[in-house]
Structure 1
Amino acid sequence: MSDPVKGLRAARVAETKQRILDSARELFVRDGYHATTLTAVAEGAQLAPRTVYVRFGTKAALLRSVVDAAVAGDTAEQAVRDSDWYRAALTAGTLADRITALVTGTTDLMERAADLFEVVLQAQAAEPELADAFQAGRTATRELLLQFVRTARADGLLTEPADPEWQAETVALAGQAETYLLLRRTTRWTPQQYGRWLHSTLSEVLREVAAPSGEMEQPCV
């Protein structure tokens, strides 16, 4: 039988954390990294400053937690590779459905987290922890996108291009956060416009096999 006291305590801890994250996100995006203080975050969350310091320790650690929460969305800080949309991008029956799943998930992620990515880029020169975390994010994103291409090819959904490395790395570059940020700055595109661009780009770079792997279309007689 569950302990109601422990359950209530856990709910309060979770609520406090969410209040801190919500306040921090608003301040980081509105005021930037350097102008945001842990004391201001505590005031925005209507908590004592000590609560924020005890929970997160440093401003850099707090920003990392805010970014992680934004990337995960409503999936309780679930890793991207374990998300439903990424699993669909690896397992859907057609290449078109896989591209759609990947584009939808990527676009939603960018819409949630892009403003915070900008804050990290702003802060990383002064915060090696954030610079390392963002580089780890680049590496992880590249691997997820390369895995998307490798799996589609292994499942017989892609033709063999003249330069498979170019194909895979182009897909990996298109899905990077900094590609989205650059497009947003230079084109002023909405997330929906970015999603259309990403879908058309991946569809152009990738090619669906005309017939199932190992089978040849029969000539007309």
Structure 2
Amino acid sequence: MGDDVKADLRAGRVADTEEKILRAATRLFREHGYAGTTLTAVAAQARVGARTVYVRFGTKAVLLKRVVDVALVGDTAPVDVQGRSWFVLAGSAPALAERIDAMARGVREMMARAGDLLAVVLEAAPVEPDLEQAAQAGREATRDNMRLFWTRADDDGLLPAGRDIDWLTETSAILTSAETYLLGTRMNHWSPEEYEQWLNNTLTRLVTV
């Protein structure tokens, strides 16, 4: 067996093991929260050695961060939000309404997959500096994504003249944040689809009213 084949087999085993660990961790964090989940329990759920989980992730905070990152984009491929097809459509569709539709749908899909896990992060962040840092990085990434969204729309002549890109960015970053999604689903009992409709309507009103 050639070295390339052996390397591919090893990479496949590593990927398979990581997928098992992430599935197990996702279930346990959702069911038991941060404090109630241990790396040992994750290993048992995944049916791998405890040392495998410790060597691969090191700490529970690092594992939760990886779980959230995968849930947000939907898979383990090394493609960030800006490279995902829905975000590309949100920055390139010919009409602003189509772009807002794509943005609202994409954010809803992310939150439906990861909202409950993001809630675990927010609850643990006050006592876990790594998670607080990750939460803040997520907020900043959301703001950067929304700035790119509005800047592209403005460059393509789809926004009314004189719209304040800074204000649109800051306002829509709050609208699309995990905290807002969680507030809407918990306080207003919105379904993910109702959140998407609210977000679509609100983003539209930002530039049409």
Deviations 1:35-79 (A, max 9, x none): 110000000001111110011111011111101111121361421
Asked whether the equivalents of residues 69 and 77 of structure 1 are also in contact (C-alpha less than 8 Å), the reply is no
Distance 1:163 1:145 in 2: 13
Larger radius of gyration: 1
Letter of the 1:50 counterpart: R
Deviations 1:108-139 (A, max 9, x none): 00011101100001111111001001101101
Which residues in structure 2 correspond to 1:23-102 (within 5 Å)? 23-74=24-75, 76-102=77-103
> Which consecutive residues of structure 2, in runs of 5 or more, have no partner in the other structure?
none
Per the alignment, residue 216 of structure 1 pairs with none
Letter of the 1:86 counterpart: F
SS in 2 for 1:206: helix
Q: Normalized against structure 2, the TM-score is what?
A: 0.94
Per the alignment, residue 186 of structure 1 pairs with 187
Asked whether the equivalents of residues 33 and 119 of structure 1 are also in contact (C-alpha less than 8 Å), the reply is yes
Per the alignment, residue 23 of structure 2 pairs with 22
Q: Which moved more, 1:1-10 or 1:11-20?
A: 1-10
Letter of the 2:56 counterpart: R
Deviations 1:15-53 (A, max 9, x none): 100000000010011001011100000000011111100
Asked whether the equivalents of residues 147 and 166 of structure 2 are also in contact (C-alpha less than 8 Å), the reply is no
- CA offset at residue 166 of structure 1? 3.2
- CA offset at residue 85 of structure 1? 1.0
Letter of the 2:4 counterpart: D
Decide whether aligned partners of structure 1 residues 68 and 144 sit closer, same or farther in structure 2, where only a CA change above 3 A counts: same
Which residues in structure 2 correspond to 1:67-216 (within 5 Å)? 67-74=68-75, 76-161=77-162, 164-207=165-208
- CA offset at residue 2 of structure 1? 7.7
Distance 2:114 2:149 in 1: 22
Give the fraction of aligned pairs with identical amino acids, expressed as a percent: 48
Letter of the 1:123 counterpart: A
Per the alignment, residue 214 of structure 1 pairs with none
Q: CA RMSD, aligned part only?
A: 1.7
- CA offset at residue 104 of structure 1? 1.2
Distance 1:41 1:165 in 2: 43
Q: Normalized against structure 1, the TM-score is what?
A: 0.89
- CA offset at residue 80 of structure 1? 0.5
Distance 1:112 1:44 in 2: 20
Asked whether the equivalents of residues 149 and 168 of structure 1 are also in contact (C-alpha less than 8 Å), the reply is yes
Between Structure 1 and Structure 2, the one with more helix by share is 2
- CA offset at residue 162 of structure 1? 6.5
List 4+ stretches of structure 1 deviating above 6 A. Answer: none
Distance 1:163 1:4 in 2: 55
